[in-house]
Chains A and B, each alone.
Chain A
Amino acid sequence: MKITRNHILFVIDTDSILSGVYSIMDEFKKELETMGLSDEIKILETGNLGITGKGVTLVVYPEGIYYVNIQKDDVKKIVEEHLLKGRPVKDLVLKREVPFKGATLERIGPGRKQVRIVLENSGIIDPENIEEYIGRGGYKALETVLTSMKSEDVIEEIKKSKLRGRGGAGFPTGLKWESARKSFGEEKYLICNADEGEPGTFKDRLILEGDPHKLLEGMIIAGYAMSAQKGYIYIRGEYALSIERFNKAIKDAKKYGLLGNNILDSGFSFDIEMKKGAGAYICGEETALIESLEGKRGQPRLKPPYPTVVGLFGKPTVVNNVETLANIAPIIKNGSNWFKSFGTATCPGTKVYTILGHVTFPGLLEVPMGTTLKEIIFGYGGGIKDRKKIKAALVGGAAGVFLPENLLGVEMDFDDLKEYKAVLGSGAILVMDEDTDISDMLQSIIEFFNHESCGKCAPCRIGCKELLTIIKNIRKGKGEKEDLTKMISLSEIMFSTSLCPLGQSLILPVKSAIENFRSDFEQKMI
């Protein structure tokens, strides 16, 4: 019998592909062949490990040694020294730079312990191989659901778990499903919102690239629970690799009888179709997404009626975020009590964050709800780059809130943040050092909104443009003190009169930037 002595896992994601991972993988295979090691050492592909900006990255198991920034010339060295002679090549091993005195690797940066539910398989399995997912307990939850649970039971279990939507608004998932299930009509739809457009957010991309079957399983269970016959996944057009991987996952699941007609002989049939976005931030809003899926301009609808009553093609529809659906299979498999043992009482479970900007270790992490912002920035993010001081953190993406240093003790869940008039949003945390000009950042945010406003309702369309004119004026040194009051009241009007969250949310960055960092604006007025 052939025994595999080592596994080499290559990270295949957008970052590594652009560093030429495939040609390096070929080189590896060639080199192993030459050394006669091909039988003993297996090469596998895996998703992102939570390390970004380190070029071609690979892990050698069972030792668990990480090599980063691998070039073609390094391949021979690794094969000869490490795989043949058992001596890891020290120069190429990931150095976890310690950002300050007294820090240890277990406390700071990517080595710090995370709690992974959604990302439990990411970076461990080959995302393009359905058998590896099944081998780690995948599709077990689906089997349980189809063989021993009624659709009401599934909804009850999700309700008990208190899972709340991870797309930003935090609406209880079980209630949403129930509402659609009870809605009138036979024809119902499930939509997975993978139009991840919030600047600074790429968690959904990593789930799609790293563990597509987990999402697929969640979608099928959701479809069963709400009694839908068809599901759609709407992926943004820019995510080429996600589209490719998810298409393959759909194909493989069909081959195994896990998707399509009469799934696992249970009598339940469910199909999933993929749709590609075409570049519009507004399509992340659920009713705009539905319009776009129907082949129209992606402009939001008036609510109510909510999509769970009148949605896609006028039928009851549930729209769930990728991360929400990726939580479903683990909850069913382990039970709602297990899920509630993580996180806070009102927001159980974990949250995937992306931490960016002036931090030592930009990247993504999954931690229990309720972890403080301070711990995320200084623990996992390794603190501020170049030993500078922190000035602010923009939490929740472009439609987020600027928090100053004294508010970083905030515990991150949907409710606690509201006390700070902040939102958790998509989970993007953009960290800014002491040299950052907040007025410059706010202008960039307003420019973004001005570009992405869909133009359907006047408050948002005109309000964005007006805000942009005012802030440009201030930054040119032509502003007056009243301009700041004007900006706040304008965004308040937009909040109360805009049709959808796009126009409604500009108040968050505008108000928090001006109130917490007033001097950055006033300095420019003389």
Chain B
Amino acid sequence: MTQEKIIKSYEKKPENLLLALHSLQENNVNHYLTKDDLMEVSKYFSLPYSFVYGVASFYSMYSFKPRGKYIVRVCKSPPCHLMGASSIIDELKKVLRINFEETTKDNLFTLEFSSCLGVCGVAPAMMINEEVFGNLTPQRVREIIEEKRREK
């Protein structure tokens, strides 16, 4: 879908701002919101650009930087922390050779922290795009990343 079509699919009410931003981001190959996206949204909803940027930057699910094909989101909230999330975080940095908030050179992976994923029964956990992985160990993390690399 084009940018225009996506925006116009929402009724012209400011309460639809978050949903419109969600779908613009989902439709972008690099999973992010461009300056142009924000500008068009602000025109359509008749809201100041600064307001739209303020809203978008408030929520952690929106990004203003191009991201990789796979967005790896790791939970480090207390339940996952207790069950060993730090070893998962270290392993991911090692395997992907990047830091958090960075993207690999081949544009395949972006590493991010997430808020609690609500799967604490299988902590520690992470999410790759829409898929959740639980009961992680450093070994499992390596395998999952390898698998994603092969899938491309």
Residues of A near any B CB (own CB < 8 A): 14-15, 18, 52-53, 196-202, 205, 236-240, 275-281, 292-299, 354, 356-358, 362-364, 394, 398, 428, 430, 432, 436, 440-441, 444-445, 447-448, 452, 454
Contacts and interface: CB of A to CB of B under 8 A. Distances in A.
The 3 closest A-B CB pairs, nearest first, are A52-B121, A278-B59, A199-B77
Contacts of B58: 280, 297-299, 454
A196 B149 CA distance: 32
Contacts of B116: 197-201
A363 B13 CA distance: 41
B7 to A, nearest CB: 14
A276 B119 contact: no
7 contacts: A237-B22, A279-B115, A280-B58, A293-B15, A358-B82, A398-B77, A430-B79
Contacts of A294: 14-15
B122 A240 contact: no
Given A237-B22, A279-B61, A53 B118 contact: no
Q: Which of A196, A294, A454 has the most CB of B within 10 A?
A: A294
Contacts of B76: 444, 447
A296 B61 CA distance: 15
A440 B84 CA distance: 12
B120 interface: yes
Nearest to A203: B118
Interface stretch (B64-72, B97-105, B129-137): B129-137
B78 A200 contact: yes
Interface residues of B, number: 41
A362 B118 CA distance: 13
Q: Determine the main DSSP class of B at the interface with A.
A: mixed
A275 B130 CA distance: 18
B121 A295 contact: no
Nearest to A55: B135
B24 interface: no
Interface of B: 13-19, 21-22, 45, 54-55, 58-62, 76-79, 81-83, 114-123, 127, 130-135
Given A240-B130, A280-B60, A15 B18 contact: no
Nearest to A363: B121
A521 B25 CA distance: 44
Contacts of A292: 18
Contacts of A281: 115
Given A18-B131, A430-B79, A448-B77, A275 B19 contact: yes
A202 B119 contact: yes
Nearest to A431: B82
A296 B50 CA distance: 12
A336 to B, nearest CB: 32
A213 to B, nearest CB: 21
A362 to B, nearest CB: 5
A432 B83 CA distance: 10
Given A398-B77, A432-B82, A445-B78, A238 B14 contact: no
A430 B78 contact: yes
B118 to A, nearest CB: 4
B115 A197 contact: yes
Nearest to B15: A295
A297 B18 contact: no
B18 A278 contact: yes
Contacts of A52: 121-122
